[in-house]
Chains A and B, each alone.
Chain A
Amino acid sequence: MVEVKIGLEIHCQLTGLNSKLFCPCQCDYQGEVPNTTVCPICLGLPGTLPLLNKMAVAFASMISLALGCKVQERIMFYRKNYFYPDLPKNFQITQYNAYGITSIGAEGKVDLGAKSIGIRRVQLEEDPGRLIYENADVNANFYTLIDYNRAGVALVEIVTEPDFDNPKDVRLFLDKVTSTIEHLGVCDIKLDGSLRCDVNVSLKEGKKVEIKNINSFGDVEKAIRYEITRQKTMSIREIEIKSETRHWDDARKVTMQSRTKEEEQDYRYFPEPDIPTIILGDQFISTIKTKMPELPDERKIRFLKDYALSDHVAKVLIDNKELADFFESTVKLYPSSPNEIAHWIISDLLGLIDDIKKEERSLLSGLRIEPKHIAELVKMIDQNKINRNIAKSVLSQITRTGEMPSYVLDKMNASLIDNESKIAEAIDSIFELEISAVRDAKQNPNAMNFLLGKVMQMTRGRADPKITLNLIKARLAKME
């Protein structure tokens, strides 16, 4: 098998800030009227100077620490010079490490269990504005509409070493980084465009191909798979693979050659003279460390220890902060069965959520479910007031109505049939109907399950399966 090398560049908007990276305009541009969250600074009007946001530096430091990076004592900003109509100054203020490490974080490491992924750097930079085309076909437009509301929003760019050799690990890594960012509270990952990812793919010894414009994390895996196949096919046919930038075509799910040639670019980086060298210093870094919230790895260890969850269950919960938080709130309400609660959340509740929502990572929005519902449901199961099958349908109803499980249960009049004579009546009629199955069951104990199923069907699931099975066994024994 040909060796593959994959590296990532993740852009994370610091939506947890109030203002943009270099000006006091509000950071949240979603749903705002075009060009209304703008000021002379983020529009790059002549004479304006960037005013670096203190909290953005703190957030980026937190991300760096969470990804195992060394936070630099002195940081600097650089200008990346290139023309593009979404760029108000025709340069982007970013960070750059070619002439000494001055980005906020560097040399980090993220543990994926079996292997670890190196973090080359974590840096702060500004987002450009947005170009809008009235006609979906770019070529058909005679002009472009520009909205600068996004221009100047703080981005943290996370650049990994090319340490991945398969798309699966990429997915694992992205899940972990996403959860980390959520736990830090620096970015609302549910917002459209708040997390973006570019990918570098190369075959062993081969040229590096960059893939941009991958809008959803779910497509990252697809894009990598496509690109590996494309490059492998080319190398089998002995076609030269060029170092280039390709775009992910969201509709057709393929990578496409970009129009602008990379070799024409020369970004002429140089230190941004309007922003002083920022001295972070030990005191700042130690203050940040004490303010760091619990991170996914720490939380997982705690979940394993405090709730005796399995590794897998803990991971699924923690990969999505929303689930982990939901779980803990539920356990607080009903501390007796954390494992049962976890299973109800990750298998039954997650089963009710469609894939699109999962991809958007907005799992519980739209469902009228709260921790108190799961807490009561699990408690009722523990007390044998309801069996699992009924609990499942109760759950599905709760998510639509928001009613309490006990109320739903009463309404369904579905209290468990624990009256043995009623079950016995049902068994009698099944034994009369399924003579051959009864015969089988006498020889093969596994066939008893068929009879159990039939009884459950007849009682519309209200019979206690344990009692029913015992009664069936007793009845069979009597026949011998």
Chain B
Amino acid sequence: MPNHLYRLTANQVTCGIKNGQFSAQEYIFQILERIEKVDNKVNAFVLVDKQGAIEKALSIDKRLRDGEAVGELAGVAVGIKDNICIKDLKTTCASNILESYIPPYDASVIRSLKENDAIIVGKLNLDEFAMGSTTEFSRYGPTRNPWNLEYVAGGSSGGSAASVAASECAVSLGSDTGGSIRCPSSFCSVVGLKPTYGCVSRSGLISYSNSLEQIGPVGKTVLDVVMVMNSIAGIDENDQTTKPIRPIATLTSEDITKSNISSKYTADQNKRNITIGLVKELIEGADPAVSKCIYSAVDLFEGSDCKCEETSMKSIQYALASYYTIATAEASSNLARYDNIRYGFEYDPEGYEWNTYFSNVRNNFGDEVKRRIIIGSYVLSAGYYGKYYLRAHIAREMIRQEIKSLFERFDVLIGPTMPILPFKIGQKIDDPLKMYQIDIDTVIANLAGIPAISMPIGFSNSFPVGLQIMADDMCEQTLFDVASFFEKIVDVRRSPEI
């Protein structure tokens, strides 16, 4: 049996198990052991479902022994951000207000993963209700960056990125409202995808900002991300905002008849003649330590048959204001339901006047959540709807239009995922506006609804730097082709010493 099974990619795991190189049980024991060993340092997991994981592994092994079919993700250890509901497993959103909440149903993505025989190992840390960019606003304490434990892992899906980087699971699911998958993926040197709006069902994702967010995968390689997408993407009757996906966008109909991948995304590393738009505003706004890294990657692409051209996106100036207006507005309404009457923690309502009871209960929200609820209420309130919310929406439409026109010229748009390198835990926590401003590069894709991926592109001062690639609406396949091509060229995959 090979050592360090926990370090394998999802693709290697399924192949190894299906080919009989090792059993799902052997693999999952190593994963659980790894979590035990390193998670007290990383703090990526908020709950580990040992029993569930082992049972699933045993059932996969049994079916393989009996010659029965197993799913495409058979045996792969998956971690789930703790704002995605898993039936009969505590789902807290890292909030005191949901500290004892147990959902009675599976999120649609969870059902898909289970059907594909992935092994769900546990729930991952996040900023409370996914509101944050560092995973510091969590009732479980901050998740630490596996590359330097004094530094933030990024957020809000900090647990999702750190767990994969630290090889505590092969892949994970996060959610991305304004960069929450891509930011920590960049900071932790893993691949993270925010799919097109409507590409992946949100049913079972505890809402922060419904019109912006998507569930997406985090993995060590583009191929792993593609494998998870093949399991979770597509129209879902439980989410009326889902759309039919276009997994084979780059293939001609002739290709489809020739191949057997008619309904799957692929990671084709032989993509050529890519036209790349380098977004000026994004690169100019970045720390030189970051932009230097991006430029050297661009040199590599240009030397490999790609056409790279600098381009400008004027509407970016409105992106952050538009994003935070819409996100907080929707959040203020989404979080109204937490009144502790139907579910929540033990606190008998008898004897309390209802307004008092509601206020007492809702005092359990953390500082950042309260702040965003109030900002959201502010921008929606009678006097300000036209001034803020309506204009934010118009700005959003401007951004969408400008991006659309850019994709008439470019296959993909690129820039840094984050304008800065990871910083020390606690460094920005007291200045909300400064914290919001680090989301500037990522919010664009959420406002426009387009897919965007962050992939490791190098290191600067021994901290990871992520490249963000954006593609047109529903063009995930283009994104995968380009990302796999870049992945082959830059080849920076490493594991942190931990």
Interfacial residues, chain A to chain B (CB-CB below 8 A): 40, 43-52, 79, 81, 83, 85, 88-91, 99, 142-144, 146, 148, 266, 268-270, 273-276
The answer to whether A51 and B339 touch (CB under 8 A), given A81-B333, A85-B354, A143-B349, is no
Task: Kindly identify which residue among B206, B339, B351, B377 contacts A143, using a CB–CB cutoff of 8 Å.
Answer: B351
List 12 interface pairs A-B (beta carbons < 8 Å), by A numbering.
Answer: A44-B342, A46-B101, A47-B204, A85-B339, A88-B342, A142-B351, A148-B342, A268-B380, A268-B385, A269-B380, A270-B330, A270-B333
B206, A46: Cβ atoms closer than 8 Å: yes
Q: Answer yes or no: B311 CB below 8 A from chain A CBs.
A: no
| A91–B336 CB distance below 8 A | yes
Flag if A45 contacts B103 (CB, 8 Å).
yes
Q: Which residues of B lie under 8 Å from residue A40 when comparing CB positions?
A: 103-105
User: Which residues of the other chain, A, contact B206 by a CB distance below 8 angstroms?
Assistant: 46-47
How many A-B pairs fall under 8 Å by CB?
A: 107
Chain A residues whose C-beta falls within 8 Å of the C-beta of B342 in the assembled complex: 43-45, 88, 148
Whether, in the assembled complex, B367 has its beta carbon less than 8 Å from a beta carbon of chain A, the answer is no
Q: Is the CB of A142 within 8 A of B350?
A: yes
State whether B329 touches A46 (Cβ < 8 A): no
Interface string of B127-161 (1 = CB under 8 A from A): 00000000000000000000000000000000000
Q: What is the predominant secondary structure among interface residues of chain A facing chain B?
A: loop
B341 proximal to A (CB < 8 A): yes
Which of A50, A83, A143, A269 interacts with B358 by CB under 8 Å?
Answer: A83
Q: Is the CB of B104 within 8 A of A45?
A: yes
Contact B237 A51 (CB under 8 A): yes
Whether A276 lies near B380 (C-beta < 8 A) is no
Q: How far does the alpha carbon of A95 sit from the alpha carbon of B91 in the complex, in Å?
A: 32
CB <8 Å contact, B336 and A83 = yes
| Interchain CB contact under 8 A, A266 and B381 | yes
Q: B333 touches which one: A45, A79, A144 (CB < 8 A)? A: A79
A47:B103 contact, CB within 8 angstroms: yes
* Count of B interface residues, CB-CB < 8 Å: 47
Closest A residue to B101 using CB positions: A46
Beta-carbon contact of A273 and B330 below 8 Å? yes
A269 contacts across to B, CB distance below 8 A: 380, 385
Q: Which of B10-18, B39-47, B217-225, B238-246 contacts A (4 or more CB under 8 A)?
A: B238-246
Which B residues are in CB contact (< 8 Å) with A79?
333
Complex interface: chain B residues within 8 A of A146 (CB): 341
Chain A residue numbers with a CB within 8 Å of B232 are none
Report the bound CA distance from A85 to B337 in whole Å.
10
Q: Does B59 contact A (CB under 8 A)?
A: no
A268: which B residues are within 8 A, CB to CB?
A: 332-333, 377, 380-382, 385
Instruction: Give the distance in Å from the alpha carbon of A89 to the alpha carbon of B203 in the complex.
Output: 16
Q: Which residues from chain B contact A274 at a C-beta distance below 8 Å? A: 202, 207, 210, 239-241
Complex formed: what's the CA distance from A266 to B382 in Å?
A: 6
Q: Which residues of A contact B329 (CB under 8 A)?
A: 270
How far is B382's CA from A165's CA once the two chains are assembled, in angstroms?
31
Do A49 and B337 form a contact, CB below 8 Å, given A40-B105, A273-B210? Answer: no
Shortest CB–CB separation between residue B109 and chain A, in angstroms? 11
Q: A83-B336, A90-B339 are in contact. List 12 more A-B contacts (CB 8 A).
A: A43-B342, A46-B85, A47-B85, A47-B103, A47-B204, A49-B202, A49-B239, A51-B237, A52-B240, A91-B333, A268-B333, A269-B385
Choose among A40, A46, A143 the residue with the greatest number of B CB atoms under 10 Å from its CB.
A46
B380 adjacent to A49 (CB under 8 Å): no
Contacts of B354 in A (CB 8 A): 85, 144
* Chain B window 412-446, contacts with chain A (Cβ cutoff 8 Å), 1 for yes, 0 for no: 00000000000000000000000000000000000
Within 8 A of A (CB), among B380-406: 380-382, 385, 389-390
Asked if residues A83 and B339 are in contact (CB atoms below 8 Å), the reply is yes
Q: Of residues A45, A83, A89, A268, which shows the largest number of chain B Cβ atoms within 10 Å of its Cβ?
A: A268
| Interface flags, B345-378, vs A, CB<8A=1, else 0 | 0000111001100100000000000000000010
B269 contacts A by Cβ under 8 Å = no
CB atoms of A49 and B240 under 8 A apart: yes
Q: Within the assembled complex, what's the spacing in Å between the Cα atoms of A51 and B337?
A: 18
Q: Which of B103, B336, B381, B382 has the most CB of A within 10 A?
A: B336
B337 contacts A44, C-beta separation under 8 Å? yes
**How many angstroms from the CA of A45 to the CA of B210 in the assembled complex?**
15
Interface residues as binary, B283-325 with A (CB distance below 8 Å gives 1, 0 otherwise): 0000000000000000000000000000000000000000000
Provide the residues of chain A in CB contact with B207, threshold 8 Å. Answer: 46-47, 274
> In the complex the two chains form, what is the Cα distance from A47 to B205 in whole Å?
5
Using Cβ atoms and an 8 Å threshold, which residues of chain A touch B204? 47-48
Which 6 A-B residue pairings sit nearest by Cβ, starting from the closest?
A90-B336, A273-B211, A268-B380, A273-B210, A46-B206, A143-B350
Tell me which residues across on chain B come within 8 A of A90, comparing CB atoms. 336-337, 339
Closest approach, in angstroms, between the C-beta of A459 and any C-beta of chain B?
A: 72
A50 to B351, CA, bound (A): 33
| Interface residue B107 (Cβ < 8 Å from any Cβ of A) | yes
Q: Report chain A residues within 8 Å CB of B239.
A: 49, 274
B98, CB-defined interface residue at 8 Å:
yes
Closest partner residue, chain A, to B107 (CB atom): A47
User: Smallest Cβ distance from A143 to chain B, in angstroms?
Assistant: 4
Most buried by B among A40, A48, A270: A270
Taking the closest CB of chain A, its distance from the CB of B336, in whole angstroms, is 4
* Contact, CB under 8 Å: A47 / B203: yes
Whole-angstrom CA separation of A421 from B204 in the bound complex: 91
A377 shortest CB reach to chain B, Å:
55
Chain B residues near A143 (CB, 8 Å)? 349-351
Contacts of B107 in A (CB 8 A): 47
Contacts of A49 in B (CB 8 A): 202-203, 238-241
A46 to B202, CA, bound (A): 11
What's the minimum C-beta distance from A139 to chain B, rounded to whole angstroms?
11
Name the one of B202, B337, B341, B389 contacting A270, with C-beta atoms under 8 angstroms: B389
CB-defined contacts of A85 to chain B, threshold 8 Å: 339, 341, 354
What is the distance, in angstroms, from B128's C-beta to the closest C-beta of chain A?
13
- The distance in angstroms between the C-alpha atoms of A113 and B239, with both chains bound, is 47
Q: In the complex, what residue of chain B is closest to A99 when comparing beta carbons? A: B390
Q: Which residues of B contact A148 (CB under 8 A)?
A: 342
Closest CB in chain B relative to A65 CB, distance in Å: 24
A253 to chain B, nearest CB (A): 28
The residue of chain A having its C-beta at the shortest distance from the C-beta of B211 within the complex is A273
Interfacial chain A residues near B103, Cβ < 8 Å: 40, 45-47
Which of A47, A81, A270 has the most B CB atoms < 10 Å from its CB? A47
With A44-B337, A47-B103, A81-B336 known as contacts, the answer to whether A270 contacts B351 (CB < 8 A) is no
* A342–B105 alpha-carbon span in the complex (Å): 57
Which of chain B's residues have a CB closer than 8 A to the CB of A276?
Answer: 240-241
CB distance from A129 to the nearest CB of B (A): 10
Complex CA gap A143/B341 in Å reads 12
- What CA separation (Å) do A48 and B91 show in the bound complex? 14
Closest-CB distance, A88 to chain B (whole angstroms): 7
- Expressed in whole angstroms, the minimum distance between the Cβ of A132 and any Cβ of chain B is 14
Give the distance in Å from the alpha carbon of A143 to the alpha carbon of B329 in the complex: 32
Given known contacts A142-B350, A146-B341, A46 and B381 CB-to-CB distance under 8 angstroms:
no
